[in-house]
């Protein structure tokens, strides 16, 4: 579904992503893990068209997208939930969700998506007329994920969905991701909780200073000495 080939990306002329290549197969959950500043968010922003690569190629569903504007990439079925939630705090929960449905061709499809979202996130149905700024941190994260699902994406990319959440809410987000994955949505996950990210992942990639240094089945990487020492404190 997604193939990144020899990707180079820079900030202010300084390369921060160096010849990164990886694949995401349909139906998989793939994780990218690494320390802060390794370049994980930069990769997601480049895939979704918010940044332009220096070189390399990105293919989505058989089509090259690295020269496409972000709105066209979204319309092709790729949803990006950024770090920090980025909900519209001065809009209601319902209006936030409707923004996520702007690529849907008909009102009936939007209504169907809303019904599915409210089944998955009952709290958003209860809060649908509240302003986004009145929600708790965990509820805002649920809203950000739900808004991303409103476009019925083929691939959903999530950047640090548990960041800043207390452990109980973080665990709830992980459960939601499992449910979304089990329903057939392909997921590319960047997550600070390395153990959770690797346990969830069908395949995982370890990023250090802009370069992939390790890859494999997520649960297999949990037994790697390098992973255990660098990220799990063991």
What confidence tens digit (pLDDT) does each residue in 134-163 have? 999 889 999 999 999 998 899 999 999 888
119 lies in some domain = no
Q: Is-contact 217 196, C-beta < 8 A? A: no
For 177-214, b/e burial (b = at least 16 CB within 10 A) is: beebbeeebbbbbbbbbbebbbebbbbbbbbeebebeb
What confidence tens digit (pLDDT) does each residue in 2-39 have? 999 999 999 888 899 999 999 999 999 999 998 888 89
User: pLDDT band at residue 175, thresholds of 50, 70 and 90?
Assistant: confident
CATH of the domain at 201: 3.40.50.300
- When divided into structural domains, the chain yields a total of 1
97 lies in some domain = no
Provide Rg for the chain, Cα atoms.
17
- Given this model, what pLDDT does residue 95 score? 95
CA distance 202 to 150: 25
217 lies in some domain = yes
pTM: 0.90
Q: Which domain covers residue 18, as residue numbers? A: 2-86+154-231
25 lies in some domain = yes
67 lies in some domain = yes
212 lies in some domain = yes
Residue 105 has pLDDT above 70, yes or no: no
Residue 234 has pLDDT above 70, yes or no: no
40 lies in some domain = yes
User: pLDDT band at residue 63, thresholds of 50, 70 and 90?
Assistant: very high
Q: Is-contact 38 22, C-beta < 8 A? A: no
3-state secondary structure (DSSP) of residue 9:
strand
- Given this model, what pLDDT does residue 20 score? 97
193 lies in some domain = yes
What beta strand segments (E) does 134-185 contain? 155-159
User: pLDDT band at residue 106, thresholds of 50, 70 and 90?
Assistant: low
Reference 96, options 152, 162, 174, 149; nearest CA is: 149
CA distance 208 to 206: 7
């Amino acid at each position: 579904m997604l193939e990144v080939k020899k990707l180079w990306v820079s900030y202010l002329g300084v390369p921060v992503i160096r010849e990164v290549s990886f694949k995401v197969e349909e139906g998989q959950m793939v994780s990218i893990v690494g320390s802060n500043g390794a370049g994980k968010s930069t990769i997601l922003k480049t895939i979704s068209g918010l940044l332009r690569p220096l070189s390399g190629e990105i293919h989505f569903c058989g089509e090259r997208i690295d020269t496409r504007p972000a709105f066209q990439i979204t319309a092709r079925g790729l949803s990006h939930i950024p770090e920090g939630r980025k909900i519209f705090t001065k809009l209601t929960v319902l209006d936030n969700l409707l923004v996520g449905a702007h690529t849907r061709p008909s009102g009936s499809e939007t209504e169907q998506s809303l019904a599915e979202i409210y089944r998955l996130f009952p709290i958003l149905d209860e809060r649908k007329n509240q302003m986004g700024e009145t929600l708790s941190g965990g509820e805002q994260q649920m809203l950000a994920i739900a808004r991303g699902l409103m476009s019925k994406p083929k691939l959903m990319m999530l950047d640090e969905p548990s960041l800043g959440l207390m452990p109980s809410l973080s665990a709830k987000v992980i459960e939601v991701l499992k449910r979304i994955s089990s329903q057939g949505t392909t997921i590319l996950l960047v997550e600070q909780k390395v153990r959770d990210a690797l346990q969830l992942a069908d395949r995982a990639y370890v990023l250090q200073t802009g370069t992939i240094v390790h890859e494999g089945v997520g649960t297999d990487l949990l037994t790697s000495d390098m992973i255990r020492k660098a990220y799990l404190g063991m």
